[in-house]
Amino acid sequence: RVFSQEPVTLPASLWPRPIHSYKACGCERCYGGYYGRIALFELLSINAALRQTIASGAPPEEIALQARAQGMTTLFEHGLQAVEAGLTTPEELYRVSGMPHG
C-alpha cells in the first residue's frame, strides 16, 4: 500500500472529515494491492424506544434517524473506517457498497 497524499472529501452528512487513504500498488502475491477479504457490518440494536418507534409504523427514515442518534454505524461508515485503517480503498468501498445518498 502507498499512502495517498490527496485526502478524499465526502459531504459532511456522510463523513465529517477528510479521509486519508492508501492506494493499492500490487505485488507478486496479491497483484492488485490487497489480499484477502474483510467484513463490513451494520448492526441495529433494538432498545425499548426503537422498538416503540418501529411498532408505531414509523417510516424507515425516522427509524434510521433514531438508530443513528443511538449510535448505530452504517455499513458505509464501517467501510470508511476500513479505508482510514488502510484495509481497503475508497474505490473498492464504492464498488461493493455504492455511494449512499446524503
Domain with 8 in it: what CATH number?
3.40.50.300
Which band of pLDDT confidence, cut at 50, 70 and 90, is reported for residue 26? low
Give the cell for residue 50.
426503537
52 located within any domain: yes
Got the DSSP string for 23-88? E----TTTSSS--S-----------HHHHHHHHTT--HHHHHHHHHHTTPPPHHHHHHHHHHTTSS
Q: Which helix (H) or strand (E) holds 5?
A: none
Judge whether residue 99 has pLDDT over 80: no
19 located within any domain: yes
Asked if residue 76 lies in contact with residue 97, where contact means CB atoms within 8 angstroms, the answer is yes
Region 65-79: what's the mean pLDDT? 93
Rounded to whole angstroms, the Cα distance separating 5 from 76 reads 22
Q: What is the pTM of this model?
A: 0.72
75 located within any domain: yes
Taking only the tens place, the pLDDT of each residue in 3-20 is: 777 888 888 878 888 888
102 located within any domain: no
Taking only the tens place, the pLDDT of each residue in 78-88 is: 999 998 888 88
34 located within any domain: yes
Q: Which domain holds residue 42?
A: 2-97
Count of the separate structural domains present in the chain: 1
Rounded to whole angstroms, the Cα distance separating 82 from 39 reads 9
Strand pairing of 2-3 and 22-23? antiparallel
Rounded to whole angstroms, the Cα distance separating 54 from 19 reads 34
